[in-house]
Amino acid sequence: MNEQQGMPDPDGAEDLAEFVGLLGELRAWAGMPSYRVLARRVGPLMRPARDIPLTTVVDTFKAGRRRLDLGLVVAIVRALGVDGPAVARWREACVKVHGLAKVGGPVGVFGQLPTDLATFTGRREEIARLIAAATQRHDGDRANTVLISAIEGMAGVGKTQLAVHTAHQLVGAGHFTDAQLYVNLRGFEPELAPADPSAVLEAFLRQLGVPAQQIPAGRDERAAMYRDRLRGRSALILLDNAADEDQVRDLIPAGGGCLVLITSRRSLAGLDGVIPHLLDTFTGAEALDLLTRIAGHNRVAAEPEAAARVIEYCDRLPLALALTAARLRSRPAWSLAELADRMRTGRLEAISAGGRAIRPVFDASYQALPNQARQVFRLTGLHPGPDFSAAAAAALAGITAGEAARALELLLDEHLLQQKRSGRFELHDLLRAYATEQANSLDSEQERRAAVHRMLDHYVHTAHAAALHVEQGRDPLDLPPPQPGVYPEQFTDHEQALAWFTTEHPVLLSAMVHAAATGFEDHSWQLAHALATYGFVRFKEQRLSMGLDSA
């Protein structure tokens, strides 16, 4: 329509500030009617019609608004001479910019930190370390170096809650008060792609007061402007759920007065200057405290033994505890014993609350793995022992020791495995249950049995080789050759073989019992034979060390 020609285009508004600016341009397009005149026009156009104070209309055109009354905006647009489909366009644009403001822009940037959870508990030592790292005085050669702390750990261990709580503690104590920026980088969201660093930079710059039309198009230019805007400012930047180092590299400012807190399920060791903080599961006391805070003190205190079972089934993982406690709170008729029984028969199925569950959280980490690492991960769920070596993992998967070592390193970086001793790997109990579930789902019964066969062959042949070194002159057993894909370990002397037996002793006992229970009776007695040799030699050596026998 001709009378609409030259009207500002509301579709160009990138944020609420720009939309308010376009409203001002619309008023100029309409001949700059006074606010008093507009107030008189607007009242009858409201639904329902009513008197609109002059100050209300004036405030609508002020910069820095956090929200606008949609009905008032539509009435103002109509009062300024806009009609037909153009009114609908202004209405849609207003809804759009409010939607972006509500979620903090297209990638979830917030002008303030997310709310600290009222149920947050524990982590005193971790908080103290983070705060100490953030507030320490820099020596002369690091005066202009930004502090970067990366909170890493397995899915569900409470990284985000710890980072948010620590950030609130720091800001509340008067640190990093110039600015706080937050973004969920969506590194492991099952249904959303990881946030684009360029889009994050754009949202951060808008949060820092840069008009959208002044933000450069290129990522490098945006990063340079971002660093410039934070230069000399005391700012805290919380980068949550990072996918990798490349995603966060350009989001790190250059100023020495800034702190960057990063959370990730993946190791960020390749990021220059990062201080890693590896987060473990709760202590028993912390786990009980969280269960009590959410489920209620009286219910937990009334059934202490059942509460201990629930904590055990959650293996002290904070997210699992929080979901389980929330489910219990929503089921007032349930006892803790009933909940514990449900968890005993199906832990992963039972750990859920409303629309949230533990299994999709693990899915996101597992699906991000390459194929061979997925295979190694799920087959380690079939391992019966408390921990295992790279050689045992290689036998399970039927791959070389080198291939297994690379896969295990990747699983460590993804925090899907734990390494509490050099050369030894173990699974968190819930991840073991998840890995076993994946193996049962994706590997046939024949494939799973073949993996167990290879693992038992590895232990039998390696234990037999170790026994021949431990007891010189021992008659060798007539063993069938190992399965294809099994490469037994070799030993050069008595001490090396004895050390292997000492390390693997609890694993060999578990493997012996597992072999008997799964139809590998020959492997079971062959392992018992080797263990008897180790036990006899250890007994003799202990008596010698006590001076009870002569050499």
Residues 145 and 273 in one domain: yes
At 55, is the pLDDT very low, low, confident or very high (cuts 50, 70, 90)?
confident
Residues 17 and 85 in one domain: yes
Residues 129 and 242 in one domain: yes
Residue 118 within any structural domain of the chain:
no
pLDDT at residue 536, rounded to an integer: 74
Residues 457 and 439 in one domain: no
Residue 310 pLDDT > 90, yes or no? yes
pLDDT tens digits for 98-112? 765 544 444 444 346
**Nearest-10 Cα torsion for 79, 83, 86, 90:** 20
Residue 457 within any structural domain of the chain:
yes
pLDDT at residue 160, rounded to an integer: 93
Q: DSSP labels for 462-522? A: HHHHHHHHHSTTPPPP-PPPPPTT------SSHHHHHHHHHHHHHHHHHHHHHHHHTT-HH
Q: Encoding tokens for residue 411?
A: 């699983």
Query: In the listed set 278, 296, 326, which residue is the last one of a domain according to the structure?
Result: 278
| Pair 266, 300: CB distance under 8 Å | no
Residues 454 and 425 in one domain: no
pLDDT (average), residues 149-177: 91
Percent of the chain with pLDDT over 90: 53
pLDDT at residue 110, rounded to an integer: 38
pLDDT at residue 141, rounded to an integer: 44
Percent of the chain with pLDDT over 70: 92
Q: How many residues does the chain have?
A: 551
Residue 195 within any structural domain of the chain:
yes
pLDDT tens digits for 76-134? 999 998 888 888 889 888 888 776 554 444 444 434 688 888 888 889 999 999 999 88
Q: What is the DSSP letter of 11?
A: G
Residue 504 within any structural domain of the chain:
yes
Residues 436 and 464 in one domain: no
Give the residue among 371, 374, 455, 379 at the shortest CA–CA distance from 411: 374
Residues 94 and 128 in one domain: no
Query: In the listed set 390, 420, 443, which residue is the last one of a domain according to the structure?
Result: 443
Residues 248 and 288 in one domain: no
Residues 94 and 12 in one domain: yes
pLDDT at residue 59, rounded to an integer: 84
Residues 304 and 174 in one domain: no
At 49, is the pLDDT very low, low, confident or very high (cuts 50, 70, 90)?
confident
Residue 115 within any structural domain of the chain:
no
Q: Give first-to-last CA distance, the chain, whole Å.
A: 110
Domain containing 238 equals 124-278
Residues 270 and 415 in one domain: no
Q: 271 forms bridges with which residues in the sheet?
A: none
CATH of the domain at 176: 3.40.50.300
Based on the structure, what is the number of domains in the chain? Answer: 5
pLDDT at residue 111, rounded to an integer: 46
Q: Is the pTM of this model over 0.75?
A: no
Residue 551 within any structural domain of the chain:
no
Residue 111 within any structural domain of the chain:
no
| Pair 313, 343: CB distance under 8 Å | yes
CATH of the domain at 438: 1.10.10.10
pLDDT at residue 119, rounded to an integer: 82
Give the residue among 471, 482, 526, 534 at the shortest CA–CA distance from 506: 534
More confident residue, 46 or 64: 46
pLDDT at residue 4, rounded to an integer: 66
Residue 249 pLDDT > 90, yes or no? yes
Q: What is the DSSP letter of 146?
A: P
Residues 161 and 292 in one domain: no
Residue 301 within any structural domain of the chain:
yes
For 331, other C-beta atoms within 10 Å of its C-beta total: 13
Alpha carbons 52 and 38: distance in angstroms, whole number: 9
